[in-house]
Amino acid sequence: MADAAPLPGAGTPRGSLIDGFGRRITYLRISVTDRCDLRCRYCMAEEMRFLPPKALMTIDEIAEIADAFIARGVNRIRLTGGEPLVRRGAVDLARTIGRNLGHGLDELTLTTNGTRLADQAHALVDAGVRRVNVSLDSRDPERFRHITRTGDLARVLDGIAAGRDAGLRIKINMVALKGLNEDDIEPMLRWCAAEGHGLTLIETMPLGDTGEDRTDRYLPLDAVRQQLERRYTLVPIPERTGGPARYTHVAELDAKLGFITPLTNNFCAGCNRVRLTAEGHLYLCLGHEDRIDLRGALREGGRAALDDALDRAMLAKPEAHAFRIEADRPAVARHMSVTGG
Ligand code: SAM
Ligand code: SF4
């Protein structure tokens, strides 16, 4: 962790966040809690230990840190977790951050498992959220329960429908899992096309011990893509949403299909993002342990110290992740739910 010595120039207005490799940081993901009401096999262990509530930043602290990022040129923020909507105050946080929309912030989004979306969709729209990613790895109730270990598919589908009715644009995130949901991919694509949702497929990443062997579950997306291309015409589209996904237009279905391929296709050169945990640690890369304690800086020295910490963070951001699925241990001991997927 970086030390807290002030940098030269502390107290003067700060510029954009540019890391040591010349990449401009414009995207912040905030894990508002590490807790979740599901236990997806690729994400968490069945008996997960979560942080005690008092270890979390307060909602006001998260908002203050978000403000500091926006003042330094971050124009997109995504709330995630864990499951963001299980934290009391998550919608208040969205509302507070949403006040910056049109004043430096271009977009506020959310990644959710959808279990609580039915209750909160309208409030999220009122807060300024227009797009949400909902994770859905199968539309078969049994399989969905198996993958999430506890989930009720009907509840998630209700959440998705309520979100859409409230005016949210929905993108479905699906982790491709060998032997678990391979044959759900094409039906999911057709369903998403019919419902007007985008679909993004994700390769499973070696983060945190889940109590299961990931090597068996790793499904390279180039193989999935080749399979789909036997039936569909996938036309690459240049659209970027501030994330690592590469998009295609599926001509026969008039649908958008994205691929996130950290393992088969390293996307680090264009990285524009950093991740804030619920405890206030800023991780500079999903695949490294380097982190900066922003909450500590804020509590000790207020906004000036926070800005100093952001400057130090830029110097600490690594060039690339080093994920390898074959390794016998997770590449990073932290779970995705801690760093914010
Ligand atoms: N609970 C919310 C959800 O599931 O959408 C937000 C947090 S979850 C950690 C964010 C995304 O990370 C989800 O789309 C999930 O499928 C994905 N994810 C979790 N663990 C992963 C892993 N080991 N490899 C790849 N994606 C993962
Ligand atoms: Fe929870 Fe999301 Fe992880 Fe599934 S992927 S266990 S829903 S945090």
- Is any atom of ligand 1 closer than 6 Å to the C-beta of 148? no
From 40, 148, 177, 178, mutation site for ligand 1 pocket: most ligand atoms within 8 A of C-beta: 40
Residue-level pLDDT at 121: 98
Tokens of 222: 């180039």
Ligand nearest to the CA of residue 85, numbered in listed order? 1
CA-based radius of gyration for the chain: 19
Residue-level pLDDT at 238: 84
From 110, 135, 136, 205, mutation site for ligand 2 pocket: most ligand atoms within 8 A of C-beta: 135
Q: Tell me, yes or no, if the pTM score tops 0.95.
A: no
Residue nearest to atom 26 of ligand 1 (CA): 204
CA–centroid distance, 300 to ligand 2, in Å, is 33
Q: Give me the residue spans of the domains in the chain.
A: 27-339
Tokens of 164: 């859409």
CA–centroid distance, 301 to ligand 2, in Å, is 34
Cα–Cα distance list, 322 to 44, 197, 276 (Å): 21, 32, 20
- Is any atom of ligand 1 closer than 6 Å to the C-beta of 113? yes
Decide: 100 and 127 in contact? Cβ < 8 Å: no
Closest atom of ligand 2 relative to the 335 alpha carbon = 3
One DSSP character per residue, 227-292 reads: HHHTTS-EEEE----SSS-EEEEEGGGTEEEEEE-TTTS--GGG--EEEE-TTSEEES-TT---EE
- Residues 208 and 217: their CA atoms lie apart, in Å, by 15
CA–centroid distance, 18 to ligand 2, in Å, is 31
CA–centroid distance, 13 to ligand 1, in Å, is 36
Strand order in the sheet with 169-176: 234-237, 246-250, 255-260, 198-203, 169-176, 131-135, 107-112, 76-80, 27-31, 273-276, 281-283, 291-293
Judged on CB neighbours under 10 Å (0-12, 13-18, 19+), 46 is: exposed
- Residues 245 and 258: their CA atoms lie apart, in Å, by 6
| Residue type at 16 in one-letter notation | S
- Residues 287 and 310: their CA atoms lie apart, in Å, by 19
Residue-level pLDDT at 280: 97
- Residues 106 and 67: their CA atoms lie apart, in Å, by 13
Question: Taking the chain (341 residues) in consecutive chunks of 10 residues, what is each chunk's mean pLDDT?
Answer: 45 80 93 96 92 96 98 97 97 98 98 98 98 98 97 98 98 96 97 98 84 81 95 89 79 96 69 93 84 96 97 87 56 66 63
Residue-level pLDDT at 4: 47
Is the dihedral angle over the CA atoms 175, 268, 207, 283 positive or is it negative?
negative
- Is any atom of ligand 1 closer than 6 Å to the C-beta of 36? yes
Residue nearest to atom 17 of ligand 1 (CA): 341
Dihedral angle computed from the Cα positions of residues 143, 48, 1 and 328, in that order, rounded to the nearest 10 degrees? -60
Residue nearest to atom 8 of ligand 2 (CA): 82
Decide: 294 and 281 in contact? Cβ < 8 Å: yes
Judged on CB neighbours under 10 Å (0-12, 13-18, 19+), 8 is: exposed
- Is any atom of ligand 1 closer than 6 Å to the C-beta of 26? no
Residue-level pLDDT at 10: 46
CA–centroid distance, 337 to ligand 2, in Å, is 6
Ligand nearest to the CA of residue 39, numbered in listed order? 2
Which amino acids bring their CB within 6 angstroms of ligand 2?
A: 36, 38-40, 43-44, 81-83, 113, 135, 337
3-state class (DSSP) for residue 133: strand
- Residues 274 and 251: their CA atoms lie apart, in Å, by 34
One DSSP character per residue, 20-64 reads: TTS-B--EEEEES-S--S---TTT--TT-----GGGSPPHHHHHH
Residue-level pLDDT at 7: 47
- Residues 104 and 243: their CA atoms lie apart, in Å, by 19
- Is any atom of ligand 1 closer than 6 Å to the C-beta of 262? no
- Cα–chain-centroid distance for residue 64? 20
CATH superfamily placement of domain 27-339: Aldolase class I (3.20.20.70)
Ligand nearest to the CA of residue 263, numbered in listed order? 1
From 29, 135, 200, mutation site for ligand 1 pocket: most ligand atoms within 8 A of C-beta: 135
Residue-level pLDDT at 117: 98
